[in-house]
Structure 1
C-alpha cells in the first residue's frame, strides 16, 4: 500500500489515503481506489502533470465546495487534490467512489438495441431509460447553474444504476468556465457540436447543449441520431470523421435531407428496426427539432438542460404499457385514427379499452386559463398527484406523497372515471351535455371528451381530449 497525501480537501475528507495498485490506466493517468473503498484517486501521468493542470484542478475543486446534497448526487466532483504519493510529488484528484455494480457505464446499456433488449429481459422498461435521460439532463443543469460546461460529454462519462435509474456524471477534471477555466479537451466524435469539430469554436455551454441532446436521444432511441451514412473521404478516416460530424453534419430525420436516414427507420425495434424520434411525446419531438434542425448550426437556438428536464418529466405522465411485450412507451395520441396506434418496440396494435388523454391548462388571470402543451394519459389504476396541478412546483417533485385522485374503469358505461381522493371538492362541466357537477371525496367524474375538471383556486384544470 502507498500513502497519498492530500490537500485542498473538504473538512470531511481525510488528509491522507492508502491506495493499492491501479485499477485502470488510460491516456491521462491511472485510477486507484482507497483501501477503505470510499474514494477513487486519479493520478496523472508525469508528462501531462504540468503546473497548469494542478492550478486548474484547484479551481475546479473550489467550484464544487458548496454543492448541496441534491446536486452532489448527480456529480462526481473532486473532493481533494493529491500532493504526493509516498513522498513523490504528483498531480491527482480524489472523488467519491461510485460502486460498480450496481452502477454501470451508460454505454453498456444503450449502445445498441441488443443491449437494451438485455435490459428489458432483466425486467427493466423503456420508462427506466426515460428516467435515466432525465438524470443526464439534471446533472448538466447542475453544472450549468455553477457557470460550468463539461466539454467532453459522451456515454462513457456517465455511470447509471439501471434498477433505480440513478445517474452520476464523472470526469469533472476538465470543466470549462469562461474567463476562469479554459477548455482542456474538445470531446468525442458523435457528441461534439459541429462548430467544435470544424474548429470554429471551443467547447462551451452551448456546445454542451448539442452533446446533451445527442446523449438523450441515444438513450431513448438506442442509436446516434447524427450518425453519418455517407463517406466523404475514403482515404483518410480521421478527415472523414471531421467532415461527417462537422461541416456535413445533418440530423438523420431532417425533413429535407435524407442522406443520414437509417434504412429500417420506423420499423419496430424488436423487428430489427430503428426507432424514430416521432415515437416520443409531442414536447420531446419539438425540443428534438430545436436541437438538431433549428439549432444544429445555430448554437443559441439549442434547448437548455432545464428545458430537457421539463419535457422528459412531463413524458412520464404520457406512458402506456403494451399488452404484448409489457413494456412502457409514449402513448401515441397524436396518431389518428386510433386504429393506427401501435407499440414502437414490438409492433403490437393498441386495442380497446383505450386510455383517456387529458390536456393541462394553467391559470393566468381570474377565470382565464392557457393550454401549456402538456398531456396526461390516464387508464385504470393511474394516480393523479398534486404536483401535476401546481404550477409553482418543479415537475415530478413528488416524494412519497398521497395521490389526490385515481382512475377506475367503468365497465357498465365503458369509460374511465377519475375518483376524488382528497377533501377538496372538485367542479366539472360534462362534455356530453354541458351540465355542471360537484365531485366530493370518493365521488368520481366520467372522462368523456370535452369534459372540464376544476380542482380549486390557483390550480391547473384538466380538459378531456379523448
Structure 2
C-alpha cells in the first residue's frame, strides 16, 4: 500500500507512514512514524486535532472482542490522572483487521527502569533522592489506581517510566488494567508475577493482591538493581527457560535475604551490587521487603500495602543526608542513628531535625525532616493524610546565612506568615520571603494547625 492511505504492512510496521485513520469520536488522525513494538502490538506517533499523541495498534491475533470491551470500559472512565497515559479513544477502520487506541505521548525525558541496570548515560542524573522519589510516586500512582477498584495486572519495569532528575513517573500500557474481578486475558510478566500465578494455583487470578507482589518486585529492582528472588539459586540455573523460571519464581521462591532461609543468599563476586545496596538500605525499608518476600510469598494478605510503602518511602526521603566527606547522598533511618556513607565509608554527620506535627484530630500526624542545606518543607508535610506528595510545592527551604558559615535558617516560601517562638520565650513573625534561624528548641507555627520544633540530631 502506498503512503498516505490506510494500510497493513506485515508483522512489523503494520501501519504505513501517512496513513489516515478515524477515531470512534470521529476525529481524523495521521500516522507519522513507528515508535516501537512489544508483545501486544506497535506504538506510533500520530497527529490528532489535539496535537501529537501516540497510537497503540494491536497485532491482529490479539484484537478480539474481549480487548475491545476492556478498551471501551477504560475510555468511558476517562480518568485524568497525569501519571497515567490513559486510553482516550478507540481507533478502528473497517478496511483493517485490527484496532488500537490513542493515548498521550511519553516525553523524551522519561526513561524506562531497565536503563538503571544498563547504567545508561541517559539516567546518570539519578540520585538516591530521585530514586526514592520515583519509588514513592510509583506507589502513589498504583494506590490511586487501586482505590478506583482497578487492578493493573502487569506491573513490570517495562510499563513504568521515570524522570531521573526529579523522580516523576508515567505508567504506560494501561489497556491491561481492568476492574477487580474481571478477566483481562493477561497474567503478567513472569519474573514480576505473584508465585500463585506462576504456579497456576486453582482459583488464582490477577488482581490487586497480585499487583502488590509485582509492585514490591518493581521497587526492589528500582532501589537494589536486582530481583528479590535471584540469589545463589539463580546462578545454578544453566538455561533460564520457562521451567526454570517457574521453579525460581513460583514453585520454590526464596527471598535472597530471608532471615530463616539462607540457601538463596547473593553470591559475593557475582552479585555484589545487591549486597552493597541492601547494606545501605534503611531498616524500615528492609523490613517491608522482608515481610512481603517471606510471609507474602505464601500468604497474599500479608503483602505490604501501598500506604505502608508510601509512608516509609516518604519518611526515608525526608531523612536523606549528604556525606560531608565525599558529598554523596545517603538514605538514613528516619529519626535513627547516623549511617555509614555507602561511597566512602565515613560516618555521616547528622544535621538538626525538624519534628513536625499536623492535623486537627486526636491523633496528629508526626514527621521528621533532616535540616540539610537545601532541604525543603512541602505543602504535603502540613497535611495529616496527603492524597499525593507534590515536590514542586515547597513552603520552606533550608538556606545558609549570607555572612556566617555553617549557620542555617528556614526561609518561608509560603504565602502566609509564620509565628516563631525561640527557646528563650521570645516570639517573632516570619513573613513570606524571610528566614527563621534554626536552633534547637525553636518552635514554628506554620499555619492551619501545623507546628514544628527544631531538635538536636
If the TM-score is normalised by the length of the shorter chain, which range does it land in? 0.7 to 0.9
The range that moved more, 162-171 or 418-427, is: 418-427
Corresponding residue number in structure 2 for 1:53: 67
Offset of residue 211 of structure 1: 0.8
> Which of the residues 53, 57, 70 maps onto 1:43?
57
Alignment of 1:222 onto 2:225: yes
Which among 239, 247, 255 is matched to residue 243 of structure 1? Answer: 247
2:118 matches 1:104: no
For 2:156 and 2:168, locate their aligned partners in 1 and report how far apart those are by CA, in whole Å.
17
1:30 to 25, 38, 42: 42
Q: CA shift at 1:244, angstroms?
A: 0.8
Superimposed CA distance per residue, residues 83-131 of structure 1 (whole angstroms, 9 cap, x where no aligned partner): 217x3342222222223x22322222x225x44xx467x4442212122
Task: Tell me what 1:349 maps to.
Answer: 346
Is it true that 1:252 corresponds to 2:256 in the alignment? yes
Question: In the TM superposition, what is the alpha-carbon distance from 1:245 to its structure 2 partner?
Answer: 0.5
* Contact kept in structure 1, 2:44 and 2:56, CA below 8 Å: yes
Q: How many residues align?
A: 427
Describe the shift of the 1:175–1:426 C-alpha distance in structure 2 as closer, same or farther (beyond 3 A).
same
TM-score for both structures, normalised by structure 1? 0.78
1:93: which partner in 2? 101
The CA distance in 2 between the partners of 1:234 and 1:343, in whole Å, is 37
Unaligned runs of 5+ in 1: none
Contact kept in structure 1, 2:420 and 2:436, CA below 8 Å? no
Match of 1:458 in 2: 449
Name the structure 2 match of 1:375: 368
1:75 aligns with 2:68: no
RMSD of the TM alignment (CA)? 3.6
Unaligned segments of structure 2, at least 5 residues: 7-19
Structure 2: distance between partners of 1:262 and 1:5: 52
Mapped contact 1:279–1:332 kept (Cα < 8 A) = no
1:226 CA drift (Å): 2.4
After superposition, give the CA deviation of every residue in 1:140-166 in whole Å (9 maximum; x if it has no partner).
Answer: 123213211111111111222323432
Cα displacement (A) at 1:297: 2.0
Query: What SS does structure 1 have at the residue aligned with 2:156?
Result: coil
User: Is residue 157 from structure 1 mapped to residue 159 from structure 2 by the alignment?
Assistant: yes
Q: CA deviation at 1:207?
A: 0.6
Matched, 1:391 2:392: no
Once the two structures are TM-superposed, the CA of residue 392 in structure 1 deviates from its matched residue by: 5.2
Write out per-residue CA displacement over residues 225-267 of structure 1, whole angstroms, 9 at most, x where no aligned residue: 22242158767832121011013212221212222322349x9
1:207 aligned to which of 207, 210, 219: 210
